[in-house]
Chain A
Amino acid sequence: MSTMAFLKRSPWILHYDASSCNGCDIEVLACLTPLYDVERFGIINTGNPKHADILLITGGINAQNREVVENIYEQIPEPKVVIAVGVCAATGGVFRECYNIVGGIDKVIPVDVYVPGCAARPEQIIDGVVTALSILEEKRGKMTGAARTKEEARHAEQAGEST
């Protein structure tokens, strides 16, 4: 509960299915629905990378989705945390010997939290997200000097564009 005690913000999650079997994906969605209901913590599933703090990916990397994953990751503003849900996202899992699977998500982008399981259970996914929150706070704290200036400049630039 230590993380929840100092949770000041509402982290938004972007969910992308890289090459999963769907099992983990429907469990991610199940987290949002009445039994688990992560929205009560202010955690919202968004479709827009620019709104997201946490990138939650299921399934491994293959030849075609590699660029999509990189693109989504690039679009999420700093600070950001990546969660790899399920064994496929960690290592390729049961599919690792398939000719079209390159491996886990960390082949393409840095991963902060690995959630095990095939399929990962909703409790495990929520646990992974809570772990990610403390990493997110840590990263936010470390964003000083150059990184913070850069991020602020980017915000200012975007604000300038929109007006």
Chain B
Amino acid sequence: MPERIIVPFGPQHPVLPEPIHVDLVLEDEKVVEAIPSIGYIHRGLEQLVQKREYTEYVYVAERICGICSFIHALCYSQGIEHIMKIEVPDRARYLRTIWSECSRLHSHLLWLGLFADSMGFENLFMRSWQLRESVLDVLEDTTGGRVIQGTCKVGGVRRDIGQEKLDEMHRELDPFEQKCRDLGDVFLNDETVKYRLRGLGVITKDEAYALGAAGPTARGSGVAMDHRETGYAAYGDLGFKPVVETAGDCYARCAVRVKEVYASIDIIRRAIEEMPEGPIDVKVKGTPDGEYFSRAEQPRGEVVHYLRGDGSKHLARARIRTPTLANIPPLVKMLPGAQLADVPVVVLSIDPCISCTER
């Protein structure tokens, strides 16, 4: 039997911008066990609900993670709105959907770029990020912020998008989709990419389900689970079908995200076409008293905000379960059997977001 050696991976390392530490137990070049340890960017945001008023905490929730920012704010606001029985105006629901999908677009394009980088495909990395900038331009134009938007609030949204801008966005969607399809074509059909990704980091449907995988990691293994199906915000009106692949390898997880980019563009298009007129927010009075599990679909999977208010202006407790935390057990299952050189690709294939995980 070959001798076992342990290679420390992280916390500071060239693949991910974020710190995570994994001890890789190797036999020659093959990984036999992966032991993750986290906590490098734990801040303690859950306890901060006791120091910030419930309306202010939206901005803290947004800063749990700079990539999933809008959807964190949305999930938190929906929780408070449910506890306080606030009915959000239709136009606000549609605007929230548009911004959520823009977040998903920029997150997926970012991930596709990083994933290409982990494969050593620099050109594709640059092209993905070039496309991502046009999504960020739209976000900046409509909200004022590139990555932290600050437009979601309890009771609605803070800004409206004028009809002129909506028309412009609608016009630009077709050429943008064409560019995304050209990019996605490389990820899905390029021989070298296929060679690198097929059969790598496989996790079966049953394993993914049993280990509690979320988002594209679960959907890449054939678990058709997407929280947008439950119809929060305007997804109920627009109709939605999750993107599912069955192979369960890195290629399948990549394919799910490529196809979700197309799906997001389609949702934005329909949301603009069906945008209702009316107010964008309602006045919020009183304080939250009660508890609720608020759920939303982030680019990385399902996020859960548990919120409990005791009638004061500060919440008593918040508990946030983020998708990457759910995806770490599947990752630990995927790594054994991989070559050391493939570890960055497998780690990235779950789209790890450590800021979310550690809060």
Residues in chain A within 8 A of chain B (CB atoms)? 15-30, 33-35, 46-49, 59-60, 62, 64-65, 68, 72, 94-95, 97-101, 118-119, 121
Contacts and interface: CB of A to CB of B under 8 A. Distances in A.
Given A101-B43, A118-B63, A17 B126 contact: no
B279 interface: no
Contact of A22 (B11, B65, B113): B65
A113 to B, nearest CB: 19
Interface residues of B, number: 41
Given A22-B354, A119-B146, 19 more contacts: A17-B354, A21-B64, A23-B66, A25-B17, A26-B147, A30-B129, A30-B133, A33-B113, A33-B126, A33-B129, A33-B133, A47-B14, A48-B14, A62-B40, A62-B42, A65-B40, A68-B12, A95-B43, A99-B44
Contacts, number: 120
B355 A22 contact: yes
Contacts of B44: 98-101
A49 B13 CA distance: 10
A119 B45 CA distance: 17
Contacts of A29: 17, 129
A1 B248 CA distance: 51
A136 to B, nearest CB: 21
Given A17-B17, A17-B18, A22-B67, A94 B40 contact: no
A19 B69 contact: no
Contacts of A35: 130, 133
B300 to A, nearest CB: 12
25 contacts: A19-B40, A19-B43, A21-B148, A22-B18, A22-B65, A22-B355, A23-B63, A23-B69, A24-B66, A25-B17, A25-B18, A26-B17, A26-B147, A27-B147, A33-B125, A33-B126, A47-B13, A60-B43, A64-B39, A95-B48, A95-B63, A98-B47, A98-B48, A101-B44, A119-B147
